[in-house]
Amino acid sequence: MPMHLSPRCCARTRSGMSCQSPAMPNCRCRMHGGKSPGAPKGNTYALKHGRFTAEAVQNRRMLSAMVKEMKALAELIT
C-alpha cells in the first residue's frame, strides 16, 4: 500500500486540524501515541534484594558464629 493511501492519524493538532501523519493500527501516529507501549507494568524497581531479610540476617549470624568456633578450635589444635 503506498504511503499516501495509508490511514491517517485520528488525533487533532494544536491548531485544531487533523494530524496528517500515517496511523498505526490503533488510529494514532508515532507522535500521538502509536509507537511506545506506555509505562512498564508493575513496580519492579521497588523489589527488595533480600539481603536484610530476617532469614538472611540469621544465616549470616550463624555463619559468623561457626567461623568464630572454627578459629577457636584451630587455636586449640595449634
Q: pLDDT digit string (tens) for 9-46? A: 888 888 888 888 888 888 888 888 866 666 777 777 77
Quickly state the pLDDT bin for 70 (edges 50, 70, 90): very high
Of 28, 23, 29, the closest CA to residue 7 belongs to 23
**How far, in Å, are 37, 66, 68, 72 from residue 26 at the CA level?**
11, 62, 65, 71
Burial class from Cβ neighbours inside 10 Å (0-12, 13-18, 19+) for residue 9 reads buried
Q: Does 75 score more than 90 pLDDT?
A: yes
Question: Tell me, what amino acid is at 2?
Answer: P
Mean pLDDT of the chain: 85
Q: Using a pLDDT cut of 90, give the percent of the chain over it.
A: 31
Q: Does 57 score more than 90 pLDDT?
A: yes
Q: What is the pTM of this model?
A: 0.40
